[in-house]
Amino acid sequence: MVQDSSVLASLLARRLKQANLFISTAESCSGGMVSSALTDIQGASNWYRQGWITYSNESKTEQLGVPEELFIEEEGYAGAVSSEVASAMALGAAIKSGSDIAIGVTGIAGPTGSTETKEVGLVWVGIYIEGEVITKSAEFGHGNRHSNKEAFSTFALRVALEAWDELRGEIDDLQEDQENNDEKPTVPDALKQLSDNSKEGEWVGDVSWTGEGDEPKDESEETVIPESEISWDDEEQ
């Protein structure tokens, strides 16, 4: 079962708080719903740094430094809804904000916007964690626009948690390497450096819509969340 975005956001926030790390977000198709879920949590200013809603291709380039050639499918590039752009959005958000972790989200919320190779409901998520980027995709079918946006944001938070669990053990070494490099990279340069280490994959669960307005079905194994994982101490916002 797909977990609620507020629960996933709480789990991610707890990890960030305990590790004393900062996160930023760069969203397109989700329209700010990822940042909304994170900042709904009291005390978010202690670990959430900045967010962008870069809906147009031009804004992705101007605000995040995404190379504009990535959008030109006619020249052999993957286009705006792709692993490459999701990765560049996450990387750009991390560089521009100085955050340790960043989320990039790009997709097709519908009801229009599909192409011969990309259907409504397709989303790509890029997660940057201190020197490495993981990208994953999912297809949520032809749900209505709002339900697709909700599904995209929930998926992005879930991928962020998976990326954290996969990469967190490597962070200490990566952080030491970054501290030895005083020069701040540009997004294209950083993308080139990350190309050999980036991890890409499709969502392992069978996620689909059964009809307009229905909840997405996820056949992957359900994660049991201990009650202690989502408990919070009182703190100032």
pLDDT tens digits along 49-76: 999 999 999 999 999 999 999 999 888 8
End-to-end Cα distance, the chain:
31
pLDDT tens digits along 128-184: 998 999 999 999 987 799 999 999 999 999 999 999 998 875 444 444 445 555 566
155 with 125: CB under 8 angstroms?
Answer: yes
Structural domains present in the chain: 5-229 (3.90.950.20)
d(CA 137, CA 190): 22
In percent, the amount of the chain with pLDDT more than 70 equals 71
215 to 59, 150, 162: CA distances (angstroms): 31, 10, 21
33 with 102: CB under 8 angstroms?
Answer: no
**3-class DSSP assignment, residue 171:** helix
pLDDT tens digits along 4-52: 999 999 999 999 999 999 999 999 999 999 999 999 999 999 999 999 9
- Tally the C-alpha atoms within 13 A of residue 62's C-alpha that lie toward its C-beta: 7
pLDDT for the residue 67: 96
